[in-house]
Amino acid sequence: MLKIVLLGAPGSGKGTQSEKLVAEFGVPQISTGDLLRSAVANQTELGQKAKAAMDAGELVSDDIVVGMIRERLKQDDTENGFILDGFPRSLDQAKALDGLLDDMNRPLQGVVHIKVDNEEIVQRLMARGRSDDNEETIRNRLKVYQEQTQPLVKFYEDKGLLTAVAGVGEIDEIYARIKAALPAGAAFAGD
């Protein structure tokens, strides 16, 4: 069982570290960014609504992302847990998540905050080269992160759920820190 949120700025390595957790713990990674990109690629109605916000580095509306998460959490593969990556990204989303998980009787075990400073983030994102990784969008995503997502640190701290890890160094080194930060009760899906 592993039911966690990975919190961190764009480019902090949430996706990379999620993949390693998926392999070790056998629970799915749920990334709203990936879900949104696939909706855009498939030109669904939802994708068309989300695209402008994504291109500008703004947050997609809460009803879209919360709706996506609600549907995704209903799927059977989340029975032993999930790794939420890129969601929640605002206090309203965090409260909506609490509500969804309460209804399902599956409370979060913990939140791991991967900390990387802004200079390093800009370098990493410029090097990554995704279509929304141009300098202007990157700056806006960082601003949106500071304003809307950073308050989640205190929100989860107050709930006693948050652990911070340094997100710099080798990938395996960071992964070891994350594993050490996992909540008690984290275990492989089959255990």
In whole angstroms, give the CA distance from residue 82 to residue 5. 8
Phi, psi of 131 (to 5 degrees): -60, -25
Q: Is 128 a catalytic residue?
A: yes
Indicate whether 175 belongs to the interface with ligand ADP (CB under 6 A).
no
| Cβ proximity to ligand ADP, 81 vs 86, nearer residue | 86
Cβ-proximal residue to ligand ADP, closest one? 33
Q: Is 89 a catalytic residue?
A: yes
List of residues 6+ apart from 49 with CB closer than 8 A: 60, 61, 64
In whole angstroms, give the CA distance from residue 1 to residue 65. 24
Work out which of 2, 59, 116, 174 binds ligand ADP, going by CB under 6 A.
Answer: 59
| Cβ proximity to ligand ADP, 57 vs 81, nearer residue | 57
Query: Which part of the chain contacts ligand ADP (CB under 6 A), choosing from 53-61, 96-104, 106-114, 150-158?
Result: 53-61
Hey, what long-range contacts does 115-118 have (CB within 8 A, 24 or more apart)? 115/8, 115/12, 115/164, 115/165, 115/166, 115/167, 116/8, 116/9, 116/11, 116/12, 116/13, 116/167, 116/168, 118/9, 118/142
| Distance in Å, CB of 79 to ligand ADP, minimum | 23
Work out which of 6, 7, 21, 54 binds ligand ADP, going by CB under 6 A.
Answer: 54
Work out which of 4, 5, 60, 142 binds ligand ADP, going by CB under 6 A.
Answer: 60
Binding mask 21-40 for ligand ADP (x = CB under 6 A): -----------xx--x----
Work out which of 5, 30, 46, 65 binds ligand ADP, going by CB under 6 A.
Answer: 65
| Distance in Å, CB of 77 to ligand ADP, minimum | 20
List of residues 6+ apart from 105 with CB closer than 8 A: none
Q: Give yes or no for a contact between 153 and 113, defined as CB atoms under 8 angstroms apart.
A: yes
Structure tokens at 178: 């994350």
Binding residues for ligand ADP (CB under 6 A): 10-11, 32-33, 36, 53-54, 57-60, 65, 86-87, 89, 93, 141
